[in-house]
């Protein structure tokens, strides 16, 4: 007998980033050297003072349930960091601490969307957004953006996507998967449309600390008065502090929404790991030098990856101002054979690159744009050099 799966989960696409990472790990465990650019996961170790705070928390007996929505010290640290960085005033009660930002997104969608509500999601989009929206019965409205516009939604596209059912706009800037970001001026134009049309904005700002020289980040609610009341901010420590495994993220939402998110969380997961929460307090309240050092390293890698992409004829990519992804256009290299194997899609391209050269990347089709490939440069210099040598040979010699 095969047990019945619910319709809604049956329709769910598994995460392609996770799937490619699993394939790379499988190959590694079979003894192969794999150059893994699949996951957006900093290769740095979590800074020592953060690990020390976790050990101290354990010794102090912070190993039990906490308030489901997070410890007060952490909510306070989150609020203080937003005040310091962006001048935004929030009440700690507006913060819900979650099991990673992915969980914060799930909570936010579940709490604010009803079946039939529409969410405008510019493509390319991070793999989990559309699926998490679908889980609520709401409808992702995917808007194709252009590489020539650095994959940013234009005001015209935004207006054209709007219907009587539009409830939310999903903003991810700096973007996963493209690494591009909206300028404050571009965001202000979108903010006006949001205000005029009474929309909710879900602003995933998880890459706000990874913005490189020449680009300027603005936290969405700072752009116009009235945005704080209609924006749910998402952030976390995975990227900023190299803490992917600690599973701490958060949402900051209008009070009535935050209250309901807390109640939802009290039924679904209870608190995120108590020890990780104390470690996160140390991350947010401690010296931010570690963040600047990691950012500088990522910026060097960004420059290196750009120089390697420039060497390969026929590849193009948008302006990479933030995050740690290169999103390059391989359309000119599809529709031909690679060492005798016909490759017509970005999925086949990524699978052959892995099979023939042991380099793991993620296909653009899973981010909603066929013909592109995402490579994470949250990898060591040595891995990047080897990976791009092989990508060059794959494209030019096979």
Binding mask 207-236 for ligand PMP (x = CB under 6 A): -----------------------------x
On whether the CB atoms of residues 251 and 79 are closer than 8 A, the answer is: no
Q: Is 222 helix (H, G, I), strand (E, B) or coil?
A: helix
Q: By C-beta, is 22 or 275 nearer to ligand GLU?
A: 22
Q: By C-beta, is 129 or 158 nearer to ligand GLU?
A: 129
Considering only 172, 201, 210, 211, the residue that binds ligand PMP (CB under 6 A) is: 172
Number of residues that bind ligand PMP (CB under 6 A): 13
Q: What contacts 107, CB < 8 A, 6 or more positions away?
A: 96, 98, 251, 261, 264, 265
Binding mask 2-21 for ligand PMP (x = CB under 6 A): --------------------
User: Residue 340 class from Cβ within 10 Å (0-12 exposed, 13-18 middle, 19+ buried)?
Assistant: exposed
Q: Is 46 helix (H, G, I), strand (E, B) or coil?
A: coil
Minimum distance of ligand GLU from residue 36's CB (angstroms):
11
On whether the CB atoms of residues 295 and 314 are closer than 8 A, the answer is: no
Containing 166, the helix (H) or strand (E) segment is strand 166-172
- Buried/exposed 156-179: b ≥16 CB within 10 Å, e otherwise: ebbeebeeeebbbbbbbbbbbbbb
204 is an interface residue for ligand PMP by CB under 6 A: yes
On whether the CB atoms of residues 336 and 388 are closer than 8 A, the answer is: no
Tell me which of ligand GLU, ligand PMP, none is bound by residue 206, counting a contact when its beta carbon lies within the kind-specific cut-off of 5 to 8 angstroms.
Answer: ligand PMP
Q: By C-beta, is 227 or 248 nearer to ligand GLU?
A: 248
CA dist 242 and 27 (Å) reads 24
Q: By C-beta, is 129 or 212 nearer to ligand GLU?
A: 129
Q: Which residue is nearest to ligand GLU (CB)?
A: 40
Q: By C-beta, is 39 or 223 nearer to ligand GLU?
A: 39
Distance of CA 3 to the CA centre of its chain: 33
Considering only 39, 95, 320, 387, the residue that binds ligand GLU (CB under 6 A) is: 39
Residues of this chain that bind ligand PMP (CB under 6 A): 40, 100-102, 126, 172, 176, 204, 206, 236, 238, 244, 249
Residues of this chain that bind ligand GLU (CB under 6 A): 15, 17-18, 39-41, 102, 126-128, 176
């Amino acid at each position: 007998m095969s047990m019945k799966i619910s319709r809604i989960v049956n329709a769910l696409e598994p995460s392609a980033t996770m799937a490619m990472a699993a394939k790379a790990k499988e190959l590694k465990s079979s003894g192969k050297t794999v150059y893994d650019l699949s996951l957006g996961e900093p290769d740095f170790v979590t800074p020592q003072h953060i690990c020390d705070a976790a050990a101290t928390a354990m010794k102090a007996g912070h190993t039990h349930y906490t308030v489901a929505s997070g410890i007060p010290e952490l909510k306070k640290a989150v609020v203080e960091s937003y005040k310091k960085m962006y001048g935004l005033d929030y009440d700690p009660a507006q913060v819900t601490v979650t099991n990673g930002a992915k969980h914060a997104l799930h909570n936010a969608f579940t709490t604010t969307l009803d079946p039939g509500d529409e969410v405008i999601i510019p493509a390319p989009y991070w793999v989990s957004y559309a699926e998490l929206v679908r889980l609520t019965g709401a409808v992702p409205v995917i808007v194709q953006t252009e590489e020539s516009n650095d994959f940013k939604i234009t005001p015209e596209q935004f207006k054209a996507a709007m219907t009587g059912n539009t409830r939310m706009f999903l903003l991810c800037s700096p973007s996963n998967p493209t690494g591009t970001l909206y300028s404050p001026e571009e965001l202000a134009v979108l903010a006006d449309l949001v205000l005029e049309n009474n929309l909710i904005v879900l602003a995933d700002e998880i890459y706000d600390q990874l913005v490189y020289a020449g680009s300027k980040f603005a936290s969405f609610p700072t752009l116009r008065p009235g945005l704080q009341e209609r924006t749910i901010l998402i952030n976390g420590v995975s990227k900023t502090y190299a803490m992917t495994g600690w599973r701490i993220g958060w949402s900051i939402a209008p009070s009535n929404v935050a209250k309901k998110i807390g109640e939802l969380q009290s039924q679904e997961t209870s608190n995120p790991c108590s020890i990780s929460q104390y470690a996160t307090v140390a991350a947010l309240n401690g010296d931010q030098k570690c963040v600047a050092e990691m950012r500088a390293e990522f910026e060097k890698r960004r420059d290196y990856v750009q120089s390697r992409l420039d060497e390969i004829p026929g590849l193009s990519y948008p302006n990479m101002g933030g995050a740690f992804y290169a999103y390059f256009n391989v359309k000119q290299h599809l529709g031909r054979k690679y060492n005798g194997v016909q490759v017509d899609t970005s999925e086949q391209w990524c699978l052959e690159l892995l099979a023939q050269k042991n380099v793991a990347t993620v296909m653009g089709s899973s981010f909603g744009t066929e013909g592109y490939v995402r490579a994470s440069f949250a990898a060591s210099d040595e891995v990047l050099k080897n990976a791009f040598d092989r990508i060059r040979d794959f494209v030019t010699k096979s």
